[in-house]
Amino acid sequence: MVQPNQSNKYDPFSLVSAEMGVLAKNIASLIGSGHPTLNRVSSYYFEAEGKNVRPLIVLLLSKALSNIPESERTRIIIDQYDVNDQEEFKGTPKAFSFAGQSPLDSISPLRVLHGINPSIVLNPLSKPMMDKKIYEKVDVKNGILPKQRRLSEITEMIHTASLLHDDVVDFSDSRRGRDSGNIAFTNKMAVLAGDFLLGRASVSLGRLRNSEVVELMSTAIANLVEGEFMQLKNTVIQPDLNQIENDNELKSIPEPTGKLSTQIHEYSISTPTSGVITHSENVNAAFQYYLHKTYLKTASLISKSSRSAAILAGCNEDIIENCYQFGRNLGLCFQIVDDMLDYTMTAELLGKPAGADLKLGLATAPVLFAWETKPELGPLIARKFSEKNDVELANRLVEETNGVERTRKLAESYCTEALKNLRQLPESDARSALELLTNSVLTRNK
Question: For the segment 263-287, what is each residue's pLDDT rounded down to a tens digit?
Answer: 655 555 555 556 677 888 889 888 9
- Interatomic CA distance for residues 365 and 287, integer angstroms: 8
Q: How far is the C-alpha of 12 from the C-alpha of 49, rounded, in Å?
A: 17
Q: What is the pLDDT of residue 166?
A: 93
pLDDT value at residue 219: 96
Q: Indicate whether 49 belongs to any domain.
A: yes
More confident residue, 56 or 255: 56
Question: For residue 3, is it within any domain?
Answer: no
Span 106-130, pLDDT tens digits: 777 666 666 655 555 445 554 545 5
Residue 105 confidence (pLDDT)? 73
CA-wise closest residue to 216 among 129, 150, 155: 155
Give 399-418 pLDDT, tens digit per residue: 999 999 999 999 999 999 99
Question: Residues 164-170: what's their mean pLDDT?
Answer: 93
Buried b (16+ CB within 10 A) or exposed e, 235-266: bbbeeeeeeebeeeeeeeeeeeeeeeeeeeee
Q: Which of 162-166, 361-365, 434-438 has the lowest mean pLDDT?
A: 361-365
7 lies in some domain: no
pLDDT tens digit string along 331-340?
A: 999 999 999 9
Q: What is the DSSP string of 165-224?
A: HHHHHTT--EETTEE-HHHHS-HHHHHHHHHHHHHHHHHHHHTT--HHHHHHHHHHHHHH
By residue range, what is the domain housing residue 115? 12-443
In a domain, 2, yes or no: no
The rounded distance, in Å, linking the Cα atoms of 30 and 135 is 13
pLDDT of residue 264: 59
pLDDT on residue 247: 67
Give me the mean pLDDT over the 306-315 stretch.
Answer: 95
Q: What is the pLDDT of residue 91?
A: 38
Asked whether residue 338 is domain-assigned, the answer is: yes
Residue 5 lies in a domain: no
Q: Is the pLDDT of residue 194 over 90?
A: yes
The pLDDT value recorded for residue 29 is 86
Question: Cα Rg for the chain, rounded, in angstroms?
Answer: 23
- Name 275's Cβ contacts closer than 8 Å, sequence gap at least 6: none
Give the CATH number of the domain where residue 376 resides: 1.10.600.10
Q: Which residues pair with 245 in a beta bridge?
A: 250
Q: Does residue 242 belong to any structural domain of this protein?
A: yes
H/E segment holding residue 310:
helix 300-312
User: For 10-32, what is the mean pLDDT?
Assistant: 89
User: 386: pLDDT confidence band, cut at 50, 70 and 90?
Assistant: confident
Residue 1 confidence class, pLDDT cut points 50, 70, 90: very low
pTM, whole model, 2 decimals?
0.85
Which range scores top for mean pLDDT: 117-121, 246-250, 343-347, 383-387? Answer: 383-387
The three-state DSSP-derived secondary structure of 241-297 is CCEEEECCEEEECCCCCCCCCCCCCCCCECCCCCCCCCHHHHHHHHHHHHHHHHHHH
Considering only residues 265 and 321, tell me which one the structure prediction assigns the higher pLDDT.
321
Mean residue pLDDT of the chain comes to 83
Q: Which of 3-12, 115-124, 235-244 is least confident?
A: 115-124
Model pLDDT for residues 61-109, shown as the tens digit of each residue: 999 999 998 888 887 643 334 444 444 333 333 443 333 357 777 777 6
State the burial class of residue 424 (Cβ atoms within 10 Å of its Cβ: 0-12, 13-18, 19+).
middle
> Could you read off the pLDDT of 418-430 as tens digits, one per residue?
999 999 999 999 9
Residue 6 lies in a domain: no
Q: How many domains does the chain contain in total?
A: 1
- Provide the β-strand partners of residue 174: 179
Q: Is 315 helix (H, G, I), strand (E, B) or coil?
A: coil
